[in-house]
């Protein structure tokens, strides 16, 4: 049975068919009223759930990519599974990069993404100094004579495997040091930190913004050099006596515009931004896409100029709190603010690669009315 669907996108026909095959496999071995282990990416076979709930979890959260031999559901560990060796070929990975080489997207110079080339040219035309110029050069140069990888594609693949197979930072650093020493001319990073620093040159990092202890103001722009809040007069710093001052709160801001620019830098994704108008087929009294909703239609009526160009992005914003240490009694929480483009097809709107983190708000309390759109 071909199980490459576990690496595919949710809600696509191949993925839906794969989930159906898995549930048929389960029902052949267990009565319908028997609880089974849930193999979704959240439960990871650690929780027993009703079979109908397991099916829903797999559709919503996705199947664990490492669970390809269904030993927790009655399959032998010696079973040969089709498609496991080539699992990373042709499927979107955790970085949202398709590993198949498509002539429409890649040029002939060691598989350099046309997307990066277009971004580079755009930045030059705007008079900007592109931060990823060095990465672009590495993407054009083979890792070693005869290699099908560039330094850039090799690092993306390595970080992708680290994420998929849950390799620790220490183990990854040891592997990178060994490869760097074994291939000194490749100029590979020697640690996990160096690898991440290298990819940050793409310009997808974040900035730290100090926050008032009581959430009154952000210490930026006109308040950037203040040491006290102009509203409540609370100190900006936890300890002002030490040589290194530590702020009470730090907001992480992930700039949205560079991420949106990358949507339009690729031919495929730029065409998908017009899906809601050029491909979608509305059905009366059926909501299959956000564009079918009354809020979307009301916005179009109020701003017809904006609505005339289907490339103009509609963004959904959501936030929720979580405890980063997994201990609910700890008086600490974080509030990620997520932004999702709604122009895309339904299966792309729910794709995690199209869900951008815009802000990471420190706790311990919900931002509430202090959360200013």
pLDDT value for 327 = 60
Q: Are 327 and 225 in contact (CB under 8 A)?
A: no
Taking only Cα atoms into account, the Rg of the chain, rounded to an integer number of angstroms, comes to 24
pLDDT value for 109 = 37
Q: Are 43 and 36 in contact (CB under 8 A)?
A: no
Distances (CA, A) of 281 to 11, 173, 277, 284: 18, 50, 8, 10
49-81 per-position pLDDT tens digit: 999 999 999 998 888 877 888 888 988 877 776
pLDDT value for 37 = 92
pLDDT value for 97 = 36
pLDDT confidence tier of residue 372, bands split at 50, 70 and 90: low
Which one, of 247, 245, 246, 241, lies nearest residue 218 by Cα? 247
Q: What is the mean pLDDT of residues 14-34?
A: 91
127-160 per-position pLDDT tens digit: 444 455 666 667 777 777 777 788 888 888 888 8
| Tokens read off for 151 | 């330094």
pLDDT value for 319 = 85
The Cα–Cα gap between 169 and 234 comes to 38
Q: What is the mean pLDDT of residues 320-343?
A: 78
Distances (CA, A) of 159 to 93, 117, 347: 10, 22, 25
The Cα–Cα gap between 213 and 211 comes to 6
């Amino acid at each position: 049975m071909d199980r490459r669907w576990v690496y595919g996108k949710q809600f696509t026909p191949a993925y839906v068919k794969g989930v159906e095959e898995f549930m048929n496999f389960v029902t052949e071995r267990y009565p319908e009223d028997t609880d089974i282990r849930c193999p979704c990416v959240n439960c990871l076979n650690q929780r027993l759930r009703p079979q109908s709930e397991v099916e829903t979890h797999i559709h919503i959260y996705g199947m664990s990519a490492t669970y390809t031999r269904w030993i927790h559901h009655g399959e032998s560990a010696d079973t040969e599974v089709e498609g496991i060796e080539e699992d990373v070929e042709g499927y979107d990975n955790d970085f949202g990069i398709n590993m198949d080489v498509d002539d429409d997207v890649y040029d002939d110079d060691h598989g350099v993404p046309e997307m990066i080339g277009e971004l580079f040219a755009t930045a030059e035309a705007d008079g900007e100094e592109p931060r990823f110029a060095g990465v672009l050069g590495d993407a054009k140069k083979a890792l070693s004579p005869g290699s099908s990888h560039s330094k850039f594609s090799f690092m993306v693949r390595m970080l992708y495997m680290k994420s998929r197979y849950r390799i620790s930072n220490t183990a990854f650093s040891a592997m990178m040091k060994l490869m760097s020493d074994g291939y000194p001319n490749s100029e590979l990073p020697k640690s996990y930190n160096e690898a991440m620093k290298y990819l940050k040159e793409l310009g997808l990092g974040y900035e730290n913004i100090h926050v008032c202890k009581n959430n009154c103001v952000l210490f930026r722009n006109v308040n950037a050099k203040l040491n006290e809040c102009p509203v409540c007069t609370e100190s900006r710093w936890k300890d002002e006596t030490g040589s290194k001052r530590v702020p009470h709160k730090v907001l992480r801001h992930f700039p949205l515009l560079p991420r949106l620019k990358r949507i339009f830098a690729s031919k495929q994704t730029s065409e998908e931004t017009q899906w809601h108008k050029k491909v979608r087929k509305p059905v009366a009294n059926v909501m299959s896409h956000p564009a079918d909703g009354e809020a979307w239609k009301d916005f179009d009526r109020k701003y017809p100029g904006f609505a005339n160009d289907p490339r103009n992005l509609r963004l959904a914003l959501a936030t929720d709190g979580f405890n980063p240490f997994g201990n609910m009694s700890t008086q600490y929480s974080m509030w990620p603010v997520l932004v999702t483009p709604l122009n895309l097809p339904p299966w792309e709107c729910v794709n995690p690669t199209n869900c951008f983190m815009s802000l990471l708000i420190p706790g311990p309390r919900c931002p509430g009315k202090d959360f200013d759109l």
